[in-house]
């Protein structure tokens, strides 16, 4: 009789326990895991804790929050400034969208010069010109040779020797134009001049090209991690905000952008817009706050839209397929690495929820194998949180 009473009490007690909604992995695993936070109905699978503690990650900065409620799910040294590598591009995109606006475009025009066969280019330092028509068609940058080809035709001449004065072009784009026209049998002479002099020389506009929008550029740097474009966008944002395009100007510009959205800047150090500098510093918390506060906001839509998808697009296309196949298509995140550092920050779908995360591991070995082990550990750790959305079938 005593055994029966005991059994009944156990059943009643069990029925009164809180129902836990585990993240990602199987419920049995999560319920038995010591990291389960029953009071918040959030559980972390054992695989998550195992990877976090692995030597491959060397105690990284990590923060995970519920995207909708803002509830903190896990924090591991999230306030400590770390080397962000290309995760810095999230802050760069945010800053560019803040001070330039997503619809901003850069115009480059070419003009005739009165009583001369020479011409003059007046540009706005388009950060993303290309010498390849196929690249322009696929990704959106303006095709620079069109500027000169169409101007030459509009000018009524088909000259095999051209002299063009210019202002507002990057030196690498000048080199690209020279190489392009040389390969096409046209001797091109480009002479740098001041904008003031260029405007004095300009007579009739013969042709102009407009850049892709800043929205398109931000999508590109997030998805494909273009370092040069990222640095140029950062410099343009600084100038638009009233600062010089040097390190001091970048630091002040990023700080102002973040503080304007009440995002913490403790320990923030900005040396470039690409994340290549190992002197950059940012905390996991700052990165997560940017991602959480911009999510769902039209002004910053390109940040979210540009995120590579695990196993499918961009820099995440080769990731997760073998390390965490259950998470393919469920993680949208920006990758990053420099020697000694591997990072990942973005969003992970877990059933009906979406979580925002940032992992900054900047104490790993300076070797290829060390970098690959860190990537695999991050994939498994974040992948353990992933789960597809629950499809509810309704009767017709």
3-state secondary structure of 295: coil
Phi then psi for residue 239, to 5 deg, are: -65, -45
End position of a domain, from candidates 180, 212, 244: 212
Buried (b) or exposed (e) across 227-249, using 16+ Cβ within 10 A? eebbbbbbbbbbbebebebeeeb
Instruction: Please state, in angstroms and as integers, the Cα–Cα distance from residue 302 to each residue in 24, 65, 101, 216, 217, following that order.
Output: 27, 21, 11, 7, 9
Is 126 domain-assigned?
A: yes
Is 79 domain-assigned?
A: yes
250 lies in the same domain as 369: yes
| Token pair 């970048």: residue | 250
End position of a domain, from candidates 158, 185, 212: 212
The pLDDT score that the predictor gives to residue 395 is 55
Select from 42, 85, 36 the least CA-distant residue to 60: 85
Q: How many CB atoms lie within 10 A of CB 312?
A: 15
The pLDDT score that the predictor gives to residue 160 is 73
User: Cα 377 to chain center, whole Å?
Assistant: 21
Per the structure block, which two tokens stand in for 201?
């020389």
Q: Give the residue numbers spanning the domain of 111.
A: 107-212
82 lies in the same domain as 206: no
- CA–CA distance, 386 with 312 (Å, rounded to integer): 15
Is 393 domain-assigned?
A: no
259 lies in the same domain as 164: no
The pLDDT score that the predictor gives to residue 393 is 54
- CA–CA distance, 214 with 219 (Å, rounded to integer): 9
Max distance between CA atoms of the chain, in angstroms, equals 113
135 lies in the same domain as 77: no
Q: How many CB atoms lie within 10 A of CB 136?
A: 20
The pLDDT score that the predictor gives to residue 299 is 95
321 lies in the same domain as 289: yes
The pLDDT score that the predictor gives to residue 77 is 94
Say what angle helices 88-99 and 247-259 make with each other, to 10 degrees: 80
Is 235 domain-assigned?
A: yes
The secondary element (H helix, E strand) that includes residue 195 is: helix 195-201
Give the β-pairing of 331-338 and 72-76: unpaired
Beta-carbon contacts of 1 under 8 Å, excluding residues fewer than 6 positions away, are: none
Is 71 domain-assigned?
A: yes
74 lies in the same domain as 132: no
- CA–CA distance, 227 with 238 (Å, rounded to integer): 17
- CA–CA distance, 16 with 9 (Å, rounded to integer): 11
94 lies in the same domain as 231: yes
Buried (b) or exposed (e) across 340-369, using 16+ Cβ within 10 A? bbbbbbbbbbbeebbbbbbbbbbebeeeee
118 lies in the same domain as 196: yes
3-state secondary structure of 3: helix
Q: Rg of the Cα trace of the chain?
A: 26
95 lies in the same domain as 190: no
The pLDDT score that the predictor gives to residue 153 is 78
261 lies in the same domain as 358: yes
144 lies in the same domain as 77: no
Which CATH number is 175's domain given?
A: 3.50.80
Is 180 domain-assigned?
A: yes
279 lies in the same domain as 336: yes
The pLDDT score that the predictor gives to residue 161 is 82
pTM confidence score: 0.86
The pLDDT score that the predictor gives to residue 45 is 86
Q: How many residues does the chain have?
A: 396
The secondary element (H helix, E strand) that includes residue 368 is: helix 368-383
Domains: count for the chain: 2
Is 134 domain-assigned?
A: yes
The pLDDT tens digits along the chain (396 residues) read 444 444 444 444 443 333 334 444 444 343 334 334 333 345 688 889 899 999 999 999 999 999 999 999 999 999 999 999 999 999 999 999 999 999 999 999 999 999 888 999 999 999 999 999 999 999 999 999 999 998 887 666 666 788 999 999 999 999 999 999 999 888 999 999 999 999 999 999 999 999 999 999 999 999 999 999 999 999 999 999 999 999 999 999 999 999 999 999 999 999 999 999 999 999 999 999 999 999 999 999 999 999 999 999 999 999 999 999 999 999 999 999 999 999 999 999 999 899 999 999 999 999 999 999 999 999 999 999 999 987 655 555
End position of a domain, from candidates 212, 244, 260: 212
Which CATH number is 31's domain given?
A: 3.40.710.10
The pLDDT score that the predictor gives to residue 193 is 96
């Amino acid at each position: 009789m005593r055994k029966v009473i005991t059994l009944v009490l156990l059943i009643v007690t069990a029925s009164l326990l809180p129902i836990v909604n585990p993240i990602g992995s199987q419920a049995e695993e999560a319920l038995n895991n010591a990291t389960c936070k029953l009071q918040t109905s959030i559980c972390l699978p054992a695989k998550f804790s195992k990877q976090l503690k692995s030597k491959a990650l060397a105690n990284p900065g990590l923060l995970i929050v519920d995207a909708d409620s803002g509830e903190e799910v896990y924090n591991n040294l999230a306030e400590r400034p770390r080397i962000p590598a290309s995760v810095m591009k999230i802050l760069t995109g945010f800053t560019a969208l803040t001070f330039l606006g997503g619809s901003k475009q850069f115009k480059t025009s070419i003009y005739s010069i009165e009583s001369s066969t020479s011409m003059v280019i007046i540009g706005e330092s388009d950060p993303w010109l290309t010498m390849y028509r196929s690249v322009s068609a696929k990704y959106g940058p303006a095709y620079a040779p069109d500027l000169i080809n169409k101007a030459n035709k509009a000018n009524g001449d088909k000259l095999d020797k051209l002299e063009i004065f210019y202002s507002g072009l990057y030196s690498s784009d000048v080199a690209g134009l020279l190489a392009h026209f040389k390969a096409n049998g046209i001797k091109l002479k480009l002479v740098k001049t001041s904008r003031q002099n260029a405007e004095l020389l300009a007579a009739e506009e013969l042709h102009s090209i407009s850049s892709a929008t800043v929205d398109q550029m931000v999508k590109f740097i997030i998805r494909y991690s273009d370092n040069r474009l990222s640095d140029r966008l950062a410099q343009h944002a600084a100038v638009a905000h009233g600062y010089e395009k040097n390190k001091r100007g970048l630091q002040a510009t990023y700080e102002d952008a973040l503080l304007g959205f009440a995002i913490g800047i403790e320990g923030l150090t900005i040396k470039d817009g690409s994340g290549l500098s190992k002197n950059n510093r940012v905390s996991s918390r700052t990165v997560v706050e940017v991602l959480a506060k911009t999510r769902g906001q039209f002004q910053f839509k390109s940040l979210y839209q540009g995120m590579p998808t695990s196993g499918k697009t961009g820099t995440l296309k080769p990731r997760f397929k073998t390390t965490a196949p259950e998470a393919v298509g469920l993680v949208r995140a920006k990758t990053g690495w420099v020697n000694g550092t591997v990072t990942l920050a973005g969003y992970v779908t877990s059933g009906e929820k979406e979580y925002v995360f940032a992992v900054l591991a900047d104490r790993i070995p300076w070797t290829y194998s060390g970098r690959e082990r860190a990537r695999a550990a991050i994939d498994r750790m974040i992948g353990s949180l992933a789960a597809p959305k629950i499809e509810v079938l309704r009767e017709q």
